Amino acid sequence: MGSRKVQIMADMALVFVTLVWGATFVSVKEAIRHIEPFYFLAIRFGIAALIMLLITNRRLTGLTLPALLKGILIGLVLFAAYAFQTFGLKYTTASNAGFITGLSVVLVPVFYTLVTKKAPGLISLFGITCATAGLGLLTINESLQFNFGDILVLFCAFSYALHILLLGRFSPDNDSFILATVQIATVALASFAAAVFKETAPTMASFNTQVWNAILITAVFATAMAFFLQTWTQKYTSPTHTAIIFTMEPVFAALFAYLIGGESFTPRQGLGAVFILTGMLASELGSQRAVKPETVEDTMKI
């Protein structure tokens, strides 16, 4: 098969991954109407961890203590991201959550600047400015107040940005499959511990079709399958292609929220979404000029 055809297949696979991620916002929002957030996360990541263990069990013989500790640290940050996002979805719309979560792309160069004391480039500055303006238009209501759910999802975006930076720091020297497995297992265990202490255990009646659909989509497709597809595709497509495709995630989230969740956008929110998308794209393209390709490729979302 020609290299051009392989790249097209890789790009289409990334579009599928992005579409699945976008669909999770509506499915999770519906699921947590029937099952509490930490228990949902525990089941989702527990199933995903089992899948990863079945696939990577031979690789785990190479697990070292330093790699285990790094994986646990990254996993705890990932747990924070999903906890903020899942709880935020109880109080905000799926479309808002999708666009605000996408701000993690913009926050990465901000965090990078704070750590390295190096000013971001003009393209990244433009992206940060656009995204900040978009966030205000999207989330601040007429009485100049933030929605509580939007604030929680904003903390999710901060956590995702930190997760990306930690992956960029630790992935080059460690097996990415092992790190992913440890991360997912850590999220599952942390979610279960939080659920036991904070929530009421779900009954069998809680597991209706909506809940099982959400678990299937998030555990199998949005976590385990998405990880493997992204690992394969980024061997054949460029980081710039990947960056551009991933900016479609909040668009898919808004589309599913409109078609399935019955949500709608005001013109002001629509303009805010456009600003955020512009900021995400500019920040990603700006980071491509400043970050090594292998570093970008290792900042994968799982």
Whether 106 contacts 131, CB under 8 Å? yes
Tell me the pLDDT band of 302, cut-offs 50, 70 and 90. very low
By mean pLDDT, which of 73-87, 114-128, 236-250 is the weakest? Answer: 236-250
Cα–Cα separations (whole angstroms), residue 23 to 18, 29, 107, 292? 9, 10, 23, 31
Distance CA 280, CA 213 (A): 30
Is residue 165 predicted with pLDDT exceeding 80? yes
Distance CA 124, CA 134 (A): 15
Tell me the pLDDT band of 180, cut-offs 50, 70 and 90. confident
Distance CA 228, CA 302 (A): 10
Q: What is the pLDDT of residue 293?
A: 41
Whether 93 contacts 265, CB under 8 Å? no
Tell me the pLDDT band of 269, cut-offs 50, 70 and 90. confident
Mean pLDDT of 97-105: 87
For the stretch 45-64, pLDDT in tens is: 999 999 988 887 788 888 88
Distance of CA 128 to the CA centre of its chain: 19
Mean pLDDT of 145-169: 87
Q: What is the pLDDT of residue 243?
A: 64
- Sign of torsion over alpha carbons 26, 28, 30, 32: negative
Mean pLDDT of 13-28: 88
Question: Would you state the structure tokens that stand for residue 172, as one six-digit string?
Answer: 């080059």
Mean pLDDT of 182-191: 95
The burial of 49, by beta-carbon neighbours within 10 Å (0-12 exposed, 13-18 middle, 19 or more buried), is given as buried
Q: What is the pLDDT of residue 260?
A: 86
For the stretch 206-261, pLDDT in tens is: 999 989 999 999 999 988 888 777 666 756 666 556 667 777 888 888 888 888 88
Q: Percent of the chain at pLDDT above 70? A: 86
Distance CA 128, CA 292 (A): 20
Q: What is the pLDDT of residue 76?
A: 96
- One-letter-per-residue 3-state SS of 27-88: HHHHHCCCCCHHHHHHHHHHHHHHHHHHHHCCHHHHCCHHHHHHHHHHHHHHHHHHHHHHHH
Residues 6+ apart with CB under 8 A from 136: 272
Q: What is the pLDDT of residue 163?
A: 87
Q: Which has more pLDDT, 194 or 302? A: 194
The secondary structure element, H or E, covering residue 188 is helix 176-198
Is residue 79 predicted with pLDDT exceeding 70? yes
Distance CA 109, CA 115 (A): 10
Q: What is the pLDDT of residue 84?
A: 96
Is residue 176 predicted with pLDDT exceeding 50? yes
Q: What is the pLDDT of residue 278?
A: 87
Q: What is the pLDDT of residue 296?
A: 38
Q: What is the pLDDT of residue 299?
A: 38
Residues 6+ apart with CB under 8 A from 209: none
Question: Would you state the structure tokens that stand for residue 82, as one six-digit string?
Answer: 């999903």
Q: Percent of the chain at pLDDT above 90? A: 32
Q: What is the pLDDT of residue 235?
A: 62
Q: What is the pLDDT of residue 290?
A: 53
Tell me the pLDDT band of 144, cut-offs 50, 70 and 90. low
Q: What is the pLDDT of residue 81?
A: 95
Tell me the pLDDT band of 295, cut-offs 50, 70 and 90. very low
